[in-house]
């Protein structure tokens, strides 16, 4: 399967990172979001990252221009008719994702793969919204995408072997490391990571220690690069809550119940770094 043209849906922190690494690997990229200003914000982040690469001598100014030239801005899903693969990185909500996939199924060429960067939602259910479940797959990048090596590849029940192989090959061409997993809530990454973050929030909620102390324990005691509350802010508290809800509902086990403090913060609009306030405040 020859993949040259890629569409990324959602120009948030994940979508813009995925667009950057695809453009750097020479793919032609359409970066799509609901409004032009969201796409422009994503291009702004990519430009900043590339400028840092130039300043550090890892890339020339001409290479930066050429990478940016590989990215087209899109606010129209119809642009999917021109691509070989769509990677969806919109918000972590099943209704929104299934609507996007049903539309893409009508628009994208027959050969096109429809991938989702979902961090926890069942790929099989997303695939069932299309008439091409064999071409639907999970391609789960880690944040920040330009830095993190892993891509968790999730097979839905119907995903074809050649589609899995194409995504594995594409992952390697992006200079990332693919790891194959099966379709269960939270896959491997968030089934293990998110209960730890949720427990850190309970630790705060129950007054065991301060935000700073909890992070310090995990950073200095366990050598984690970021404390769990810093990491939760970095991921987005809305995304953390959606993932916990998927685990709770998907396994029907109360050990995954989201901490009420997490719910409260999300209801307050304290979504972490991206909204300027979470467990910490950001200027
Ligand atoms: C929720 C999900 O579904 C799945 C997930 O993604 S879970 C989240 C997974 N990610 C993590 O756990 C990240 C944990 N944190 C880390 O690994 C590190 O703190 C970090 C890599 C983010 C930053 O590393 P650091 O050493 O503390 O900071 P810093 O020295 O500023 O950055 C290291 C490099 O990363 C780059 N970097 C940092 N943040 C970046 C960003 N947001 N975008 C692009 N590049 C970034 C820096 O430019 C720097 O590059 P060079 O050394 O090549 O110049
Ligand atoms: N944050 C993380 O660490 C990780 C997140 N993920 C997954 O990646 C996905 C995106 O997360 P993230 O980038 O953090 O979220 P963000 O909130 O940063 O970005 C999501 C973007 O998608 C846009 N969007 C929402 N609905 C649509 C739509 N129908 N069509 C096009 N664009 C849309 C949003 O616009 P608007 O602002 O208007 O809502 C926003 O710009 C989620 O599924 C998440 O679970 C995966 C790995 C890590």
Q: Which domain CATH number covers 241?
A: 1.10.1040.10
Residue whose Cα lies nearest atom 8 of ligand 2: it is: 89
What is the reported pLDDT for 92? 93
Tell me the pLDDT band of 32, cut-offs 50, 70 and 90.
Answer: very high
**Residue 282 included in any domain:** no
Report whether 12 belongs to an annotated binding site: yes
Q: Which ligand lies nearest to the CA atom of residue 194 in the structure? A: 1
Q: Radius of gyration over alpha carbons of the chain, in Å?
A: 19
- Give me the pLDDT at residue 166, please: 98
Closest C-alpha among 224, 239, 202, 37 to residue 120: 239
User: pLDDT at residue 269 above 90?
Assistant: yes
| Domains identified in the chain, total number | 2
Examine the residue annotation and report whether 140 is marked as an active-site residue of this protein: yes
Same domain, 122 and 204: no
Active-site annotation holder among 32, 119, 120, 198: 119
CATH number of 40's domain? 3.40.50.720
Examine the domain organization and report whether 111 and 227 are in the same domain: no
Owner of token pair 């691509």 = 83
Ligand 2 pocket residue status of 116, Cβ below 6 Å: no
* Residue 279, in any domain of the structure: no
- Local confidence band at 260 (pLDDT 50, 70, 90 cut-offs): very high
Provide the 10 A C-beta neighbour count for residue 84: 20
pLDDT of residue 283: 87
Same domain? 161 vs 210? no
Determine which helix (DSSP H) or strand (DSSP E) holds 64, and give its type and residue range. Answer: helix 61-69
Residue 227 has pLDDT above 90, yes or no: yes
Q: For the residues 96-102, what does the mean pLDDT come to?
A: 98
- Summarize the confidence of residues 37-52 as an average pLDDT: 98
Please give the residue range of the domain that contains residue 58: 5-182
Out of 182, 203, 236, a domain closes at 182
CB 120 within 8 A of CB 98: no
Count of helices and strands (H, E) across the chain: 11, 8
Residue 1 has pLDDT above 90, yes or no: no
Q: Is 119 a catalytic site residue?
A: yes
Query: Residue 183: its pLDDT value, please?
Result: 96
**Strand 150-155, strand 136-141: pairing:** antiparallel
Respond yes or no: is residue 248 known to be catalytic. no
Report whether residue 177 contacts ligand 2, using a CB cutoff of 6 Å.
no
What is the per-residue pLDDT across 174-199, written as a single tens digit (0 to 9) for each?
999 999 999 999 999 999 999 999 99
Q: Which SS3 state, helix, strand or coil, does residue 239 take?
A: helix
């Amino acid at each position: 399967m020859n993949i040259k043209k890629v569409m990324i849906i959602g120009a948030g922190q994940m979508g813009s990172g995925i667009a950057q690494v695809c453009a750097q690997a020479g793919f032609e990229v359409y970066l799509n979001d609901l409004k032009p200003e969201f796409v422009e914000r994503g291009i702004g982040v990519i430009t900043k990252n590339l400028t840092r690469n130039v300043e550090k001598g890892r890339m020339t100014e001409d290479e930066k221009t050429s990478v940016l030239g590989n990215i087209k801005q899109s606010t129209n899903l119809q642009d999917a008719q021109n691509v070989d693969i769509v990677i969806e990185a919109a918000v972590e909500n099943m209704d929104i994702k299934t609507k996007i996939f049903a539309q893409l199924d009508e628009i994208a060429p027959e050969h096109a793969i429809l991938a989702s960067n979902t961090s926890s939602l069942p790929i099989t259910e997303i695939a069932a919204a299309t008439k091409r479940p064999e071409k639907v797959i999970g391609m789960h990048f880690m944040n920040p995408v330009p830095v993190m090596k892993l891509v968790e590849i999730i097979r839905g029940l119907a995903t074809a072997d050649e589609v899995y192989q194409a995504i594995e090959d594409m992952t390697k061409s992006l200079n990332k490391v693919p790891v194959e997993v099966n379709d269960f809530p939270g896959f491997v990454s968030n089934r293990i990571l998110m209960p730890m973050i949720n427990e850190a929030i309970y630790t705060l909620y129950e007054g065991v220690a301060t935000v700073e102390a909890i992070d310090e324990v995990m950073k200095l005691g366990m050598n984690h690069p970021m404390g769990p509350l810093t990491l939760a802010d970095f991921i987005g508290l809305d995304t953390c809550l959606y993932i916990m809800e998927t685990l709770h509902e998907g396994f029907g086990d109360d050990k995954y119940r989201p901490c009420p403090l997490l719910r409260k913060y999300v209801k307050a609009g304290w979504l972490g770094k991206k909204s300027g306030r979470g467990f910490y405040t950001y200027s």
